[in-house]
Structure 1
Amino acid sequence: MTKEPNTLGEYLRARRGLVTPQQAGIPEVGVRRVPGLRREEVAMLAGLSADYYLRLERGRDRNPSVQVLESIARVLRLDDDHVAYLMTLVGDRKRRSPRRARTETVPPGVAKLVAGLPHPAFIEGRYFDVLVSNALAVALSPRLAVGRNQLKDMFLDPEEQAFHPNWQGSTECLIGNLRQSVGTDIDDPRFIELTGELSLASPRFRELWARHDVKGQWGAPMEFDHPQVGEMTLNRERLAVGGIDGLHLVVYHPDAGSEAADKLALLASAALPTVEAEPMPERHDPTPPGRR
């Protein structure tokens, strides 16, 4: 029999390890063998018995009340995104039969919209697969071509890492958003495939995944270091595709009149398809030969 995953306990342990005694107002006395707070310290600060908190972390109690979770969240200094994620981890999960990987399909009208946008734009799936992209997105980064996966590129491709001057911050944002997107739906075959591959191949992924950070990814300025035009800052907009779970439209656009706008225009001109000039049709003089 497959053991039920203890997602709540794993999350509490990970977040407990990120809160220092100083942050919690606990004086440090002697040598601490664990990073962050001890279980009994979290229990004390949250107004719980140490035995009950231990049962939560070990998965023996999977149905704490909202009040208990809010008290723990306060001690662990969780923000709104992390609290919302914490609430999804509660309750017994019914055993389900093995799932098939689902196919993510972009509506034709949305694909046409992406193709016609004047800025780099693409549609990403739940696990950051690029499902649709326009020519300017590929000119910005060839790794935004259809079929690529942004998670794998960000953690495993040196060119993509060089493309992001703030690579450390970009990876934190990406993993936080993956946690928020997945929630407790951890038996999705695509999720298992990706996290398994990245956990084996990337120490940075393992480090961030163990933190259990949760963070939404929406609008923000993004820095890029393009191999042809150099450094530039573009605004990122990330918009949910209405009515389709997990699909988002991502658009990068510059500030009007900025140096980034000039560089993006240069990339756009280079991305235009080359059209060969057609030969001029042969001209026929209608004047009869004798009168020329």
Structure 2
Amino acid sequence: MASASATADHRRAELRDFLRSRRERVSPADVGMPGGGRRRTPGLRREEVAVLAGVGVSWYTWLEQGRDINVSEDVLDAIGRTLRLEAVERAHLYRLAGLNPPETPPAPAVPASPELQRLLSAWSPRPAYVRDRHWNFTAVNDAARAVFGYGETDHNCLVSFFTNNRYRVAHRHWTETAPAVAAGFRADAARYPDDPEFARVAADLATVSPEFAELWARHDVAEHTSAVKAVDHPEAGTLLFDATLLPLPEHPGSHLILHNPRPGSGTEERLARLMRERSLVVAHPG
């Protein structure tokens, strides 16, 4: 567990970088201001944000510099409106400013219960897995391994997304999805500011994945949403799934991810054939 001072320093550094990245994203034209000729930095200037939000220039500068100053909900709301923050970004700003309500400490990560293991087995031949709050896999069914290419070295959903080449090649919309994946992990990390494991996972991954490092540096945050996942499988062909993420209240921060074949896509038949052929290979390896 990180010390209180280390946690506060980390939170203020995150706040500094987040505010700067959001400020640079908003152009003067976005808020009805003239461009004012050449600008040395993209987006709004600090003093422009302060004026638009109705706060002192020095105070806003101190806030963006990550200094230890008092903030109020009203002021953060004004800054959020000025920077055109979405709901998830505004919540992220609140947490970084230390105004998030105290949360129940998450339970230690544990392997999936026997009941969950049975559910994953019953869900086959459809892919399913369980991940904990750090996105570590705690249970993966055989269909998920066969469809997504997860192997014995795949221990973390985030890491596998950026480093498992088989998964990347098969995921039809990998490039479009990658920013939301990195943003989702950052949003989860902000929910547990006292947990240094998120920073460790991100730092380790950034050393081996330049693409993740670039996305992580954006400081974007996003909520998890259900989505359609398209897989171009080397054996089964095109597979289309509705991917649904379900929270597990008995394990705070953990989620069950279910993949259901899209109706009318032929996925269910191709998936059943793939798993049937896999079972024959296992039964008769020669």
Q: TM-score range by the shorter chain?
A: 0.7 to 0.9
- State the distance in 1 between where 2:94 and 2:62 align: 17
Shift, 1:18, TM fit: 1.7
Selected match of 1:198 from 198, 205, 215: 205
Selected match of 2:77 from 61, 70, 77: 70
Q: Is the 8 A contact 1:114 1:134 kept in 2?
A: yes
| Aligned-partner residue type, residue 276 of structure 2 | S
- State the distance in 1 between where 2:191 and 2:224 align: 18
Q: In structure 2, what is the equivalent of residue 116 of structure 1? A: 122
Larger radius of gyration: 1
Task: Indicate the structure with greater helix content.
Answer: 2
- State the distance in 2 between where 1:244 and 1:74 align: 35
Seen in structure 2, the aligned counterparts of structure 1 residues 199 and 147 have a Cα distance that, compared at 3 Å, is closer
Q: In structure 2, what is the equivalent of residue 10 of structure 1? A: 17
Aligned identity (percent) is 33
Q: In structure 2, what is the equivalent of residue 163 of structure 1? A: 170
The answer for unaligned runs of 5 or more in structure 1 is 94-100, 277-292
Shift, 1:141, TM fit: 1.6
Q: Is the 8 A contact 2:111 2:139 kept in 1?
A: no
Residues paired across the two proteins, number = 269
Q: CA RMSD in A?
A: 2.5
Q: Secondary structure at the match of 1:48?
A: coil
Which gives a bigger RCO, structure 1 or 2 (Cα 8 Å, sep 6+)? Answer: 2
Seen in structure 2, the aligned counterparts of structure 1 residues 231 and 17 have a Cα distance that, compared at 3 Å, is farther
Q: Secondary structure at the match of 2:155?
A: coil
Q: In structure 2, what is the equivalent of residue 216 of structure 1? A: 223
- State the distance in 2 between where 1:62 and 1:267 align: 59
Q: In structure 1, what is the equivalent of residue 52 of structure 2? A: 45
Q: Secondary structure at the match of 1:143?
A: coil
- State the distance in 1 between where 2:221 and 2:253 align: 16
**Alignment deviations for residues 164-201 of structure 1 (CA, whole Å, 9 cap, x no partner):** 22222221121121122111635534323211122222
Q: Is the 8 A contact 2:243 2:257 kept in 1?
A: yes
Q: In structure 2, what is the equivalent of residue 225 of structure 1? A: 232
Q: In structure 2, what is the equivalent of residue 104 of structure 1? A: 110
The answer for unaligned runs of 5 or more in structure 2 is 101-106
Question: Which residues of 2 match residues 254-265 of structure 1 at below 5 A?
Answer: 254-265=261-272
Q: In structure 2, what is the equivalent of residue 235 of structure 1? A: 242
| Aligned-partner residue type, residue 9 of structure 2 | E
Q: In structure 2, what is the equivalent of residue 250 of structure 1? A: 257
Task: Give the TM-score, by structure 2 length.
Answer: 0.85
Question: Which residues of 2 match residues 250-289 of structure 1 at below 5 A?
Answer: 250-272=257-279, 274-275=282-283
